[in-house]
Chain A
Amino acid sequence: MSPRKAYMTELAELDELVSLMANKTSEAIELAVRSFERLDMQFVDKVERLDKELYDLNIDIEKRCLEIIALQSPVAKDLRAIGTYLKVITDFDRIGRYAKDIAEVTAHSVERSHFKPLVSIPHMANMAEEMVDLSVKAFLERDIAPTKQVFELEDKVDSLYDEIFREVITYMMEDSKKIGAGMNYTLVARYLERIGDHACNISERVIYMVTGERVVKE
């Protein structure tokens, strides 16, 4: 039996595209968080471009996955990889959309500086970013080791979100002029929390892809 050359080439191309999408997702969230922290507009356009590219990749990869399923009948690790691609591209796309949302909050922010030095949000952003990076690393290297850390960070991100929410409400109650900015902080915190959830989904999928075991983070 000869190896299936065309099929192998298609699988390799697909893997490259999903990897490209993963890397662009990491870049989008990093730039979005930086832009918000500094209320710096220079990355906003770039994040919006990345979001559009992620969307296009999502469509292209889905089409290729369905073609391979229809024409090549993938099984075993190939099937698990394609099932994983079909799921994680949605997560990457959603993360890209949240990055864009964070950039938009920056762009629409009336204030040109934060009303207090930001501590919790950058901390939360670092953790969400790390979760995405670790999930992407696990995915690219087909290694489940980083996923453990992703699940640990998820709990921290969730607690931090509750904390930020309470803290911001206190500021808003003290001073109604801070309501606009305060709303932005809660929005950004919410987006970061959702990004963390999607990173968890990716990690769960990577575990399935690599081991065949289905793991669901509680």
Chain B
Amino acid sequence: MEGKIVTERLNAFFGEVHAVKNVNMAIPANAITAIIGPSGCGKSTLIRCVNRMHEVVRGAKATGKVYLDGEDIYDPETDPVEVRRKVGMVFQKPNPFPTMTIYDNAVAGLRLNGEKDWSKLDGAAEDSLRLAALWDEVKDNLGASGVSISGGQQQRLCIARALAVQPEVLLLDEPCSALDPIATAKIEDLLFDLKDRYTIAIVTHNMQQAARIADFTAFMYLGELIEFGETKRLFENPEEELTEKYITGRFG
């Protein structure tokens, strides 16, 4: 399998609970891949395995392989912090650091990595806020609190924060579920613009969102990857009966 990220026989557990079962999947570079499926199907756990966030939960473990550009990120030699720098993540609820300004939020990751040069920080703040399509809205107000802006702006600030450390992959876990349709459309437009530079994987409950923005879609059910393919094909003529039932709303 070829892909920016490739999982091989990936299993994830929370204690005794087997949340992700033997998933083999290749996430292509410079494209948006959506992961859909009902609540509890393991889609968030799957992407959290891709940047080694899964293991930070007490009792959680993962087995199998996850390759980033052909290198196994679970290799004992691999530094999880370096993996997380390359693979950024944005969560469901916008979570800017509440005590920090917009500026400080944008460059928080860089500072954590020890960057102290103001001109570099200034450049990174502007670049990442521009990439996140937020610059024009906040450029005169960079000293305001990160939580003083709207929910949609906060979410784009979180995307800027993730982009500031120059990742290669951007993982988004339900990034629009707390946003209104206009803020959602802005995030979707942004992801569309970003996909030329990054590999993007988005977990979403919203099938129309997957259909609108994703080049590839993965459907998961009860921890298993049921079907993976081009979004257009999957939504027009799915191969698996289960996928058909889920996307047409015939799950009872």
Binding site for B on A (CB under 8 A): 1-4, 7-8, 73-80, 211-212
Contacts and interface: CB of A to CB of B under 8 A. Distances in A.
Given A73-B208, A76-B244, A3 B251 contact: yes
A3 B247 contact: no
Interface of B: 38, 207-208, 211, 235-238, 243-244, 247-252
Contact of B248 (A2, A78, A211, A212): A78
B247 A75 contact: yes
Contact of B236 (A1, A8, A79): A79
A80 B207 CA distance: 17
Contact of B249 (A1, A79, A80): A1
Contact of B250 (A3, A80, A212): A3
A3 B238 CA distance: 19
Residue among A2, A76, A80 with most chain B CB within 10 A: A76
Q: Which 6 A-B pairs have the closest CB atoms?
A: A212-B237, A4-B249, A75-B235, A3-B252, A1-B251, A75-B247
Contact of A1 (B38, B211, B237, B238): B38
Nearest to A11: B248
A214 B244 CA distance: 19
Given A1-B38, A75-B211, A80 B237 contact: yes
A76 B249 contact: no
Contacts of B235: 75-76, 79
B248 A74 contact: yes
A77 B239 CA distance: 11
Contact of A3 (B38, B207, B208, B249): B249
A75 B236 contact: yes
A133 to B, nearest CB: 28
Contact of B247 (A8, A76, A80): A76
B210 to A, nearest CB: 10
